[in-house]
Amino acid sequence: MMQISQFEALLARVNKPARYTDGEWNAVHKDWAAARVRLALLYPDVYEVGMSHLGLHILYHVVNSHPDYLAERCYAPWTDMEAELRRAGAPLTSLESRRPLSEFDVVGVTLPYELTYTNVLNMLDLAGIPPRAADRTEEHPLVIGGGPGAVNPEPMADFFDALLVGEGEEALLEILEAARAPRREALDRLAAIPGVYLPDRYQYSPAGPGPVGAVTPREGAQYPLVRRYVADLDAAPFPTKQLVPYLDTVHSRVTLEIMRGCARGCRFCQAGACYRPRRERNLDTLLRQAEEAVAATGFDEVSLLAFTSVDYSRIEQLVTGLTERLGGRGVGVALPSLRADAFSVAIANQIQKVRKSGLTFAPEAGTERLREVIRKRLSEEDLFAAADAAFSSGWFRLKLYFMIGLPTETNEDVEAISDLVHRLLDFGRGALGPRRGRLQISVSVAGFVPKPHTPFQWVGQDETETLAEKQRILQQTLRARAVKLSWTDPAVSALEAAVSRGDRRLGAVIHRAWELGAKFDSWGEHFQPALWEQAFAECGLRLSDYAHQELPRDADLAWDHIACGPAKDALRAELDRALGGGEA
């Protein structure tokens, strides 16, 4: 364990030392010696991002509520802190006890996003744990992954002893119980737990460029590997004593998960496919959890978490109940995910009783034809009706999410995004009248990324230059003082697509990119596409085969052994409907 004086000396030389100091309100400190299994929860991004991830709070709560287990946290150190750790020869430690990660029994790694993968390797290396699973011995902790990235575990298979496919709170205690045994026996026990994937017990046989090939089980391994999920969300554990940080994070508020899963069936959405079925928490449960969380944290906002919060069957009663119970204390309610065709003036009016923030809608495409292709059920009439309700209720700021590079998209579809935004702007100015000067529309544009387990998993992403040209169209046509346009670097989208559709061979690319210096790839100031180009070339692979190539529909794909969404035949049928013009 690092001495306090040594640690304080490091903190004196880094930016934002509160990222590393622990002691937040509601942090849990358990007796290290009394715990039978000790888990380090590793999040591969900075503290401000990781602290806003509800899944980590849930796992922290589940483990520390058990009398025999202990969980502590570790977030990716920023580059200044990493430099200080390496200069001092000091290992990466947990927040709560400042013990090296190598002293824990299990290191549990969340995989939230493909561009955090090099951070995983960097953190393991800083901790003195070999990044490759094959290099670990009985002296090392088990390294177990989970989270959204586990639905295609192959690109990171080289680095994990095991991965959980599915929802963590459903299986985590079973995993920790198995981990009580010596390493070799623990791995055998883990292999028997439904939903737990041990990569070295499967063989990958590539059959062409890109992720074409089959993953087959060795003797006794689960096949297919079926994801775990919480059947009764209302009875699932949920932390109301949420951690309160000492510095601003991405979301400094109570996060209340009201439902999980989505019935919309958008063809591009991996989360909607992999978090089925749709499950809700009971209204009374949510009201109680919200009151307990506000009392335990002092936060002045409750954010309702769901893929689309207005899909919750009792959303108006929930918003009314929350504002009645908490509004008098100055606590607001936020609906970060709205469905424009279900927006109601009543909900907007309930929210604005305490405070207004911006409203966010996701049309995704500029034309109804393209929205039909992606199965986004939203007409222009719906969108303008929602905007009218917002402006009439005194909202001045809208945020709109779009994608470019969608299957069958033309430049006319891209230009239609600008046309739609300009018409909304004119409509808002007319609706707001003398207050029109306060109107602002933020437009966020991302490149389409084909994802495993979706109908578009076979579709190649637009080439980088094609996406860049479509961005230039928007930059030239969306010029208005009241419009703020932001976009994703096409090279970032290409890398995300390549890793998302990666096979086991991509592990060598990720490892080489990290060796070359890649880390914090999701941060614009640190992303270095040249490093990735070099890593692909040195490993004898091509990024374009994974990101831009159309995949054969009748071929085995690198993630077919993972069963976490609709069956492959159903996905093929959905793709046929999409390319045939949209909804059947």
Q: How does pLDDT run across 509-549, given as a tens digit for each residue?
A: 999 999 999 999 999 999 999 999 999 999 999 999 999 99
Query: In the predicted model, is pLDDT for residue 342 greater than 60?
Result: no
Query: 305 and 205, same structural domain?
Result: no
Mean predicted confidence (pLDDT) in 160-187: 97
DSSP state of 105: S
Instruction: Report the distance separating Cα 402 and Cα 418, nearest Å.
Output: 11
Close Cβ partners of 5 (under 8 Å, ≥ 6 residues apart)? none
Q: Is 195 helix (H, G, I), strand (E, B) or coil?
A: coil
Residue 129's pLDDT is 98
Query: 306 and 199, same structural domain?
Result: no
CATH of the domain at 295: 3.30.750.210
Residues in the chain: 584
Residue 264's pLDDT is 86
- Residue 26 dihedral angles phi and psi, to the nearest 5°: 80, 5
| Within-domain flag for 307 | yes
Q: Is the model more confident about 281 or about 3?
A: 281
Residue range 385-435, pLDDT digits in tens: 888 888 887 788 899 999 999 999 999 999 999 999 999 999 999 988 888
Closest C-alpha among 177, 176, 198, 199 to residue 187: 198
Report the greatest alpha carbon distance in the chain. Answer: 73
Question: Which structural domain, as residue segments, surrounds residue 199?
Answer: 4-226
Mean predicted confidence (pLDDT) in 259-270: 92
Percentage of the chain modeled with pLDDT above 70: 96
Residue 7's pLDDT is 79
Query: 169 and 34, same structural domain?
Result: yes
**Which residue among 318, 336, 352 closes a domain?**
352
Instruction: Report the distance separating Cα 284 and Cα 290, nearest Å.
Output: 10
**Which residues share a beta bridge with 400?**
361, 443
Q: Is 530 exposed, middle or buried (0-12, 13-18, 19+ CB in 10 A)?
A: exposed
CB burial of 226-257 (b: ≥16 within 10 Å; e: otherwise) equals: ebbbbeebeebebbbbbbbbeeebebbbbbbb
Residue 343's pLDDT is 57
| Within-domain flag for 300 | yes
DSSP, residue by residue, 306-324? SSSGGGSTTHHHHHHHHHH
| Within-domain flag for 170 | yes
Query: In the predicted model, is pLDDT for residue 251 greater than 90?
Result: no
Provide the whole-model pTM: 0.96
Q: Is the model more confident about 581 or about 52?
A: 52
Q: Which band of pLDDT confidence, cut at 50, 70 and 90, is reported for residue 353?
A: low
Q: Which band of pLDDT confidence, cut at 50, 70 and 90, is reported for residue 136?
A: very high
Residue 108's pLDDT is 98
Q: Give the mean pLDDT of the chain.
A: 94
Residue 322's pLDDT is 94
- Quick check: 349 and 393 in contact, CB under 8 A? yes
DSSP state of 103: G
Residue 390's pLDDT is 83
**Which residue among 352, 374, 401 closes a domain?**
352
Q: How many CB atoms lie within 10 A of CB 580?
A: 11
Instruction: Report the distance separating Cα 63 and Cα 96, nearest Å.
Output: 14
Per the structure, how many domains does the chain have? 2
Query: 263 and 203, same structural domain?
Result: no
Closest C-alpha among 181, 313, 246 to residue 11: 246
Residue 582's pLDDT is 56
- Check the CA dihedral 174-175-180-185 and report its sign: positive
- Quick check: 443 and 483 in contact, CB under 8 A? yes
Q: What angle do CA 365, 368, 374 make, to 5 degrees?
A: 60
| Within-domain flag for 448 | no
Query: 301 and 175, same structural domain?
Result: no
Give the containing element (helix H, strand E) for 537. Answer: helix 529-538
